[in-house]
Amino acid sequence: MQFLNCLPLYWGLVHSGALLDLELTKDTPDRLSDALVAGDLDIGPISLVEYLRHAGDLAVLPDLAVGSDGPVLSVVATSALPLSEVRTVALGSTSRTSVLLARMLFEQRWGLRPQYVTMPPDIPLMLREADLAVTIGDVALRATYDAERAGPGHPLRVFDLAREWREWTGLPMVFALWAARRSFAAAHPGVVKEVHEAFRSSLDAALLEVDEVARRAARFEVFDPATLARYFTTLDFRLGARQQAGILEFARRAAARGDVPPLGEIVFASV
Ligand SMILES: C=C(O[C@@H]1C=C(C(=O)O)C=C[C@H]1O)C(=O)O
């Protein structure tokens, strides 16, 4: 995914030369999700909502996710107004899960009924059309840091949607996971295992030397090394019991609203 959040996952692939014989694809999460579902990708990251819509066709790679157990810094609602005065909401077009999370929070947690419009993820443009903007990824991370740096004088309020979810449910939020199409996993178990191992060890290596990863990444990103190191260690890449409980709770609430079919169980690929 062409977001900073995946850099630790891909970091070690470059060093180890793993997966060089596979074709790697880079795109926004919404497009990668569509490609996996359509069968144009065999293994890839998938936004949680899209997983829930197609769980029957997919096998989840264990122990790999993009989420957070508390604030995530890069999934935010931004507004010049207090929430109670928000009437219109612009939802960023690269997100599937965070925009549904935002709707749940508005409607079920805060008891508000704003009008929604979907737009490309550009906060100034979104705030020209709507009272509040929901964005993910690097744009959202920038908004968090601008607000932190400016302090109380900042004209915009920034709401971290993973923090809101955690306060609401007591659980981590999982935004994306990795999955293979089940037909592919059945036909090529060795490839799924190899890809899983490559990602896992890449991630472990990156998190072990996170300051070095942040320092190098800062050379070609707008964020400084300390900011990047904090972000990489804020993200939760695990898919353990708590994260799975977070997924099941999100699935239950999303199904109750009619946004996704009910989730039976999470079927994992054997690796
Ligand atoms: C934490 C993030 O999670 C992302 C949120 C997604 C979504 O809302 O659909 C999809 C992929 C994840 O990368 C982020 O992008 O900042």
In-domain check, residue 118: yes
Q: Is 223 in the pocket of ligand 1 (CB under 6 A)?
A: no
Interface TM-score (ipTM) > 0.85: yes
Measured CA to CA, the distance from residue 243 to residue 11 in angstroms comes to 23
How does pLDDT run across 202-217, given as a tens digit for each residue?
999 999 999 999 999 9
How does pLDDT run across 37-91, given as a tens digit for each residue?
999 999 999 999 999 999 999 999 999 999 999 999 999 999 999 999 999 999 9
Q: Which of 169, 185, 213 is the last residue of a domain?
A: 169
Q: Is 137 in the pocket of ligand 1 (CB under 6 A)?
A: yes
In-domain check, residue 81: yes
Query: Is there a single domain that holds both residue 61 and residue 188?
Result: yes
Q: Is 130 in the pocket of ligand 1 (CB under 6 A)?
A: no
In-domain check, residue 263: no
Q: Is 73 in the pocket of ligand 1 (CB under 6 A)?
A: no
The percentage of residues in the chain with a pLDDT greater than 70, rounded to a whole number, is 100
In-domain check, residue 83: yes
Query: Is there a single domain that holds both residue 135 and residue 85?
Result: yes
Nearest residue to 41 (alpha-carbon basis) of 228, 136, 180? 180
Q: Is 228 in the pocket of ligand 1 (CB under 6 A)?
A: no
Query: Is there a single domain that holds both residue 146 and residue 96?
Result: yes
Query: Is there a single domain that holds both residue 118 and residue 200?
Result: no
| Distance (Å) from CA 176 to ligand 1 centroid | 6
What CATH number corresponds to the domain at position 126?
Answer: 3.40.190.10
Number of domains in the chain: 2
| Distance (Å) from CA 65 to ligand 1 centroid | 10
Q: Which token pair is 38?
A: 């359509």
The parent domain of residue 104 ranges over: 75-169
Measured CA to CA, the distance from residue 70 to residue 129 in angstroms comes to 30
In-domain check, residue 43: yes
